[in-house]
Amino acid sequence: MLLEQLSRQFPDINWAPSESYGMLTIEVPVDQLVPVIAYLKDDPTLQMNFLTDLTAVHYPDDKNREFALVYHLHSFIHNLRLRIKSFVPASKPEAPSLTGLYAAANWMERETYDFFGIQFTGHPDLRRILNVDDMDYFPLRKEYPLEDASRKDKDDRYFGRQGHEGVEFDKRIDRQ
Amino acid sequence: MESYFKSYDSVDGELATVNLGPTHPATHGVFQNILKMDGERIVSAEPTIGYIHRAFEKLAERRPYYQITPITDRLNYCSSPINNIGWHMTVEKLAGIEVPKRVQYMRVIIMELARIADHLICNSVIGVDTGALTGFTYMFQERERIYEMYEELCGARLTTNIGRIGGFERDFSPEFIKKLKSFLKEFPARFEEFNSLLERNRIFMDRTIHAGPISAERALNYGFTGPNLRATGVDYDVRVMQPYSGYEDFDFIIPVGLNGDTYDRFMVRQEEIRQSLRIINQAFDNLPKGSHHADVPAYYLPDKEEVYSNMEALIYHFKIVMGEVPIPKGEVYFCVEGGNGELGYYLISDGGRQPYRLHFRRPCFIYYQAYPEMIQGALLSDAVLTMSSMNVIAGELDA
C-alpha cells in the first residue's frame, strides 16, 4: 500500500523494494531524498513523523555506490517502520540534510559525517561530534583497520571473509 | 514575580560564559556545556560530547557475535542487562532462533529488574539535585539488592554480560529465587516511602514543576523515546508497540505525563517502577518449566563438563570459539525498550564471523540534543535538574 502510494506520487523512482526481517526497505536517489521523506512525513495517511535512526554503511567494492545512507522512519499512527537507503559515490560523498524536517537529524548527521565523511549540504553546524576536531580521517570507513595490519594471524580470510578488493590500507595510522 | 525577571533581564546586557562540566559534581557524567549566562538565566547552551567515546561500532566489526555482549554493557551502564538481552535477541532474530517460553519470561524478569534499577538511580538523583539526599541513600540499598540478584545469575554486578545467544548461562538458582521473593515482598513498601518523601513535597514540586519542559511535537521531532517522551503525553513504548520476549502476555499500563517537565518525567518513572513490579510478579508467578536456553548447539556454548567428555560438545565449542558458525547474511533492525528509550541495534551481516556493520540507536544520544532548547531561559539550577531528569548516561551518549 505504502509503495503504491509512493509510486503514484513519484513515478520516476526505481524503488528496488525488498523486505528484510519484516522491514520494508526502499532505495531513493540522493537528489530525491528530501522530497520523498518530506512527503512521507507530511502525508496525512502515512505520517512517518519519527526519524528513528540515521547512519551510513561503507561498501568499498560497490563502484559508485560506496556509501549507503540508511534512514529508519517510523509512523506511530500505523506502527509501521520503513528503511530508506540512498547510495552516494566515494568521489562525491554528499547528501542533503534532513535537519529541516527532523530536529533529531542534526546530531545523527554530525555523527555520520564524523565517522564516514558524508557531507550533508544544508546542515547548520556540520562538525565532528564524538571524535576530536583535528582528526583527519573518517574511522568507520573500511580502509581503516582496527588492528595492526602487519599481523598475519588475523587475516580476514581466516574469519570467513575474502577481504575487500581495491581497499588500500592507510599506513599512516598503522605506524606501530 | 514576572516583572522582577523582566526588569532583571533588561538591566544587564553583558553575558557571562560558564563552563558546566566536563567534570562537575552536578552533571553525573562527563559532559561539557558552555553556557552563556545573563546573571542566573541561561541565554544559550552549547553541549560538547564524546569525552568517553570508545568506538564501539568499530570494535564490533572486529569481534565475533558473542563477544559483542560486553560492549553493550557499557552503553547504558545503569541497566546493562537490557542492552545485553537486546543484543542477544538481535542475533537470534538474524539467525532465526526461537527461545523457550521460560527464557522469555526469565528475560522479562531480568529486564524489568534492570529498568527498576535504572529508574531508581535517575529518580533518586533528581532528589539529590533538589537537596534531598535521604531518598537516594535508601534507594541505593534497594538497587544493591537488584545487583545481588544479577550477581547470583551471572557473577557480575554493573557490567553484567548477562545471558547468552539463545538463553541464559544458568537457570535461576534457589538463592536467586529467595532474593527475588524477598525483594518483591519488601521493596514496594520501601519504594512508596521514598515516593512519599518527594511526590507531594512542596520544595520538590516547586523546584521541578515547569523546569525544563518540552512539548510533545518538539519531543517527537527531536526523536525522544522512553520516559522522556511519555512525560510529554505520547504513549509510545516498544514493549507494547512491538512486543518482544513475551511482553504481550503481561498486563501493565503505560503511564504518560502532561507537560513534559522534570516533575512529569519523575512521576512517569515512578509509575513505571510500579508497573515493572507488576510485570515481574506476573512473569514470576507464571514462570514456565523447561530449559533455560534454546537448543541451538551452534550458538550456545556447551557446558564445560560436556566439552571434556563429549565429542560433539567439543566440536561445537571449537566451532563457536573459532567463529565457524554459519551466520545468515542479512540486515536486521531490532529494538527494545531500554531504561531511557528505544534502544535499537542495526546489524548488517555479510556471513562472516563478525558483523559487517553494527549501529546502536542510542536513545540519549538522540534526545540530548534537545537539551539547549529545553534549558534556554531557565535558571542554572534548573539546568542541572533538567539534565538529571533526562537520564543522560555518558556511556550511552558517547558509545
The secondary structure of B88-157 as a DSSP string is: HHHHHHHHTPPPPHHHHHHHHHHHHHHHHHHHHHHHHHHHHHTT-HHHHHHHHHHHHHHHHHHHHHHS-S
Cβ-Cβ contacts under 8 Å, A160 against chain B: 323-324, 351-353
Residue A98: inside a domain, yes or no? yes
**Distance, first Cα to last Cα, chain A:** 55
Residue A173: inside a domain, yes or no? no
Alpha carbon distance B297, B290 (integer Å):
17
Inter-chain Cβ pairs, chain A and chain B, closer than 8 A: 101
Residue A161: inside a domain, yes or no? no
CA distance B242 to chain A (A): 8
The predicted pLDDT at position B8 comes to 46
Domains contained in chain A, number: 1
Q: Looking at domain B56-397, which CATH architecture does it have?
A: Orthogonal Bundle (1.10)
Residue B133's Cβ-count burial label (10 Å; 0-12, 13-18, 19+) is exposed
What does the pLDDT look like over B165-175, one tens digit per residue? 999 999 999 99
Interface test with B, best of A81, A146, A169 (most B CBs within 10 A): A146
Residue partners of B118: CB distance under 8 A and separation at least 6: B76, B78, B79, B82, B339, B340, B391
Domain ranges of chain B: 56-397
Number of neighbours of residue B217 by Cβ within 10 angstroms: 11
The average pLDDT across A36-48 equals 90
With a cut of 90, say whether residue B272 has pLDDT above it.
yes
Residue A153: inside a domain, yes or no? no
Alpha carbon distance B132, A2 (integer Å):
52
Which of A75-89, A151-165, B108-122, B373-387 bottoms out in mean pLDDT, i.e. has the lowest? Answer: A151-165
What ipTM is given for this predicted complex?
0.89
Alpha carbon distance A49, B221 (integer Å):
7
What is the Cα B284 distance to its own chain's centre?
Answer: 22
pLDDT band of B326, cuts 50, 70, 90: confident
Which of A156-170, B186-200, B221-235, B261-275 bottoms out in mean pLDDT, i.e. has the lowest? Answer: A156-170
CA distance A138 to chain B (A): 11
With a cut of 90, say whether residue A176 has pLDDT above it.
no
Residue A63: inside a domain, yes or no? yes
C-alpha cell at B363: 536513545
Q: Between residues 183 and 212 of chain B, which touch chain A (CB distance below 8 Å)?
A: none
Alpha carbon distance B314, B59 (integer Å):
28
With a cut of 90, say whether residue A104 has pLDDT above it.
yes
Say if A88 is an interface residue toward chain B (CB within 8 Å). Answer: no
CATH number of the domain that residue A64 is part of = 3.30.460.80
What does the pLDDT look like over B331-356, one tens digit per residue? 999 999 999 999 999 999 988 888 99
- Max Cα–Cα distance, chain B, nearest Å: 83
What does the pLDDT look like over B290-319, one tens digit per residue? 999 999 998 998 988 999 999 999 999 988
Residues spanned by the domain of A75: 2-130
What does the pLDDT look like over B100-153, one tens digit per residue? 999 999 999 999 999 999 999 999 999 998 988 999 999 999 999 999 999 999
Residue A86: inside a domain, yes or no? yes
Average confidence score pLDDT of chain B: 90
Alpha carbon distance B339, B361 (integer Å):
13
The predicted pLDDT at position A152 comes to 58
With a cut of 50, say whether residue A145 has pLDDT above it.
yes
Cβ-Cβ contacts under 8 Å, A131 against chain B: 50, 53
Give the chain A residue nearest B50 (alpha carbons): A130
The average pLDDT across A1-22 equals 87
